[in-house]
Amino acid sequence: MKWPPTEYILSSPCLITISGAKVICSLEAKEQFCTLFPKYSPMKMKKTSDTYFRIWQTVKRIPKGKVTTYGEIAKRSGFPKQARLVGYALHHLPPGVNIPWHRVVNAQRRISFPPGNENYNRQKALLEREGVIIVKGKILPEKFIGKK
């Protein structure tokens, strides 16, 4: 399967088609998304949705049991060298959206949260449940998609 796909559905609120580097998301789809997730007003969505939707959809395509980096997601989403943008997009995931954020780690193959932190433990548990092996805080390279 091509990664990322050319057409897909985000949870169910809207159909988005990638055409080259541009994401097309209808105003109706954005309004429907905002109805489901009131935290995201149409005004706020206008500025961020296309970028965040592209990132979220790229993350959604990471296969179970595999991991990639913020930088690789940025590159595959059409935003090379903007790894922090991926972090911001994942931070702003609406509650209830089925995006496997836990499959994205930093360039050192480590979970970005501080060890022992509640979020660190949650991400580590989710990865281990999918068969990802973490040794001394690092994910083994054979589980990586993209540059190792």
Instruction: Please indicate whether residue 145 or residue 136 has the higher confidence score (pLDDT).
Output: 136
pLDDT at 59 over 90: yes
Residue-level length of the chain: 148
For residue 25, the model assigns a pLDDT of 52
pLDDT at 9 over 60: no
What band does 38 get if pLDDT is binned at 50, 70 and 90?
A: low
Question: Which DSSP string corresponds to the chain?
Answer: --SS-SEEEETTTEEEEEETTEEE--HHHHHHHHHHSTTS-HHHHHHHHHHHHHHHHHHHTSPTT-BEEHHHHHHHHT-TT-HHHHHHHHHTPPTT----GGGEE-TTSB-SSPTTSHHHHHHHHHHHHTT--EETTEE-GGGB-S--
Q: And the tokens for 99?
A: 């995006």
Please state at what angle helix 83-91 crosses helix 70-77, rounded to 10 degrees: 100
User: To the nearest whole number, what is the mean pLDDT of the chain?
Assistant: 77
Could you say which of 1.10.260.40, 1.10.10.10, 3.40.50.720, 3.40.710.10 is the CATH number of the domain covering 7-143?
Answer: 1.10.10.10
Q: What is the domain partition of the chain in residue ranges?
A: 7-143
Report pTM. 0.68
